[in-house]
Structure 1
Amino acid sequence: MTFRLFALTLFAMLAFAGNSLLCRLALKQTTIDPTTFVAIRIVSGALMLWLVLALRRQSERLEGTWAGALALFAYAVAFSYAYTHIPAGTGALLLFGAIQISMILYGLTIGERLSPLQGVGIALAITGLVALMLPTVGAPPVFYGFLMIVSGVAWSIYSLLGRGANNPVAATAGNFIRAAPIALALLLGQFVASHVQADAAGAAYAVASGAVTSGLGYILWYAALKQLNVTRAATVQLSVPVLAAFGGTLFLDEPLTAVLVAASALVLAGVALVILNKRQV
């Protein structure tokens, strides 16, 4: 892995972890409802990405696809609704388990193969993730557990579609801009039903999530995906719960425990075995 690819992947994972923290703050500690949060998040991302293209004088060069936009929208909506009814640990296991399984299965269908060391690495990373989340794991309501799995599969589809993007900025912008009217239509339906709830803090978190950790973060991810095979792309994302957990310690005054440190070491060691293995899977 080159330094550029390492940096792209690292900053993309940091953005995803930041996104998790912002979602946690908004949906758990403010009055904003999931639909309003998703609409503000996607529209903010679309505006930020359009601005980036305009500054680069490429605003007429939108790429992306409707399939990518629908996968992005499905991921965001399913995640937001599930997150309000599922403990954080359970949600992370379902989400990243679905991402890992669906992406690796796809990789196997297109001919990728795991080396023995990579198999060990994936096992270590999953073991560390389970250990990290075990204290908060609880049996989720079936419907919301299913929604979190749907969210993981939708994110996998969005990631896999991104591997073919020629211009990560234009592709990400195109996906967000296509998804924005869908999100606004859902918000309008929510408004008509008088179910819209929001406050200034929740809206601010949604804007930060959309414009920075989603919009700009997804550009980095699409750029990294061009150089990652499916197995590595699936595995590196297991680092996100670890980064989010440490972010909670740094910014939300959550405790730093021995379990967190040990589980994080397992996850990161497993990820390292997968991405540093020389065999082309």
Structure 2
Amino acid sequence: MKKLLLVLFVLTAFAANSILCRIALKNGHADPETFSMLRLLGGAAALFFWHIVRKQLQEIRWKIIDALLLCAYVLFFSLAYVQLSTATGALLLFGAVQVCMIGWGALKREKLSGSKAFGILLAVGGIVALLLPGTSAPPLLPALMMVASGLAWGAYSVRGKNIVAPAGTTAGNFILSIPVMLALSLLRQEPVHVDASGILLALLSGGVASGIAYVLWYQLVPGLSSATASTLQLSVPCIAAAGGVLFLGEVPDLRMVVCTLVVLAGIALVISADRKSLRGGRYP
């Protein structure tokens, strides 16, 4: 039950990132680059303070590749959400995550049972069906940016399977991301735009929905196969779509509801298959 509650919190936090970012950008509270910087700064501050309180500064780990992946994920995420709706952006993001993590699992020769493979196909099929003709196609460049963001997050999650200090590694990644983003900011030509609401939304996204949630995700990932970890994240677009209804007035049609149920059914099949594999000793 504890693990289930942690998974639910993390997935909801991931969806909250889409909602908070979309609210900030749609309503003109911040430009995407400034939102990204404040989001990373919020995560770095929250995690650094956490280590100070617990007197564990020595546990902070510095992994430049992970920090670069984090920057790529956050920046492309914000740039894409200038034009994408909450649900569409989340679907593209976690569809790309699915491809990245399943592909890595295949390279590592993780076994896929028939029921697990069917569950993955069902979940991905639900997302594809939602984006096929009948809904407005997303603009190409923002869509590609969100796919790039998803691939960066997928790689970040895969690398997280090998770490031994989730909190310290996540803190180090956020802290290292700040000078990277500052260097990138020297290339921007547009003026900085942010108001009090934009600052609050970005810090909430960074400190709670990103920093804390990523630590918990790092703790959960080592106990999951790549297939299960990526498929679980396919529930995030469903949660984000619900948030879009509540906070942005994005009312879903019947197809959104049906596709959401299909995605959740696929997730349930993958989780069930993984439990059987674990009981049978096929995963370490």
Is the pair's TM-score, using the shorter chain for normalization, greater than 0.5? yes
Aligned to 1:265: 261
Question: Are 1:206 and 2:206 an aligned pair?
Answer: no
Give the CA deviation at 1:88. Answer: 4.3
Which moved further from structure 2: 195-204 or 149-158?
195-204
Given residue 33 of structure 1, which amino acid in structure 2 is its aligned partner?
D
Larger deviation, residues 202-211 vs 130-139: 130-139
Moved more, 77-86 or 10-19: 77-86
Which residue does 1:221 correspond to in 2?
217
Structure 1 residue 43: deviation in Å? Answer: 0.7
Contact 2:87–2:240 (8 Å) recurs in 1: no
- SS of the aligned residue for 1:207 comes to helix
Q: TM-score normalized by structure 2?
A: 0.89
- In structure 2, relative to structure 1, the CA distance for the partners of 1:136 and 1:46 (3 Å cut) is farther
Q: Which residue of 2 aligns with 1:187?
A: 185
Q: How far is the alpha carbon of 1:61 from its aligned partner?
A: 1.5
Mapped pair 1:16 → 2:14: yes
Distance 1:105 1:125 in 2: 16
Partner of residue 83, structure 2: 85
What residue in structure 1 maps to residue 139 of structure 2? Answer: 140
Q: Letter of the aligned partner of 1:8 in structure 2?
A: L
Q: Deviations over 1:187-207 (max 9, x none)?
A: 3443xx352111221121111
CA RMSD, Structure 1 to Structure 2 (Å): 2.0
Q: 2:55 maps to what in 1?
A: 57
Q: Which residue of 2 aligns with 1:237?
A: 233
Alpha-carbon distance between aligned partners in 2 of 1:164 and 1:136, rounded to the nearest angstrom: 40
Deviation at 1:257, TM superposition (A): 4.6
Greater CA drift, 111-120 or 256-265: 256-265
Which one of 248, 251, 259 corresponds to residue 244 of structure 2? Answer: 248
The answer for unaligned runs of 5 or more in structure 1 is none
CA change 1:89–1:131 in 2 (3 A) is farther
Instruction: Find the residue that maps to 1:197 and give its secondary structure.
Output: coil
Distance 2:205 2:102 in 1: 28
SS of residue in 1 equivalent to 2:223:
coil
- Identical positions, percent: 43
Does the C-alpha gap of structure 1 residues 165 and 8 become closer, same or farther in structure 2, counting only changes over 3 Å? farther
The count of aligned residue pairs is 276
Picking from 73, 76, 81, the partner of 2:74 is 76
> 2:6 corresponds to which letter in structure 1?
L
Deviation at 1:253, TM superposition (A): 4.2
Shift of 1:31: 4.0
1:2-36 Cα distance to aligned partner (Å, 9 max, x none): x3332222211010011110011011112411110
The residue correspondences of 1:156-175 to structure 2 (distance < 5 A) are: 156-175=154-173
Deviation of the 1:112 alpha carbon: 0.5
C-alpha contact 1:14 1:243 (8 A) present in aligned 2: yes
Change (3 A) 1:262 1:156: same
CA deviation map 1:78-110 (0-9, x unaligned): 111122134445433432222111111110111
Q: What is the DSSP-based 3-state SS (H/G/I as helix, E as strand, rest coil) of the residue aligned with 1:114?
A: coil
Distance 1:87-1:136 versus aligned 2 partners, 3 A rule: farther
The farther-off stretch of 262-271 and 125-134 is 125-134
**TM-superposition CA deviations, 1:108-128 (whole Å, max 9, x none):** 111112111111111221222
Shift of the 146–250 alpha-carbon distance from structure 1 to 2, 3 Å rule, reads closer
Counterpart CA distance in 1 for 2:149 and 2:60 is 25
Deviation readout 1:31-50 (Å, 9 max, x if unpaired): 41111011000011100000
2:123 paired residue among 122, 125, 128: 125
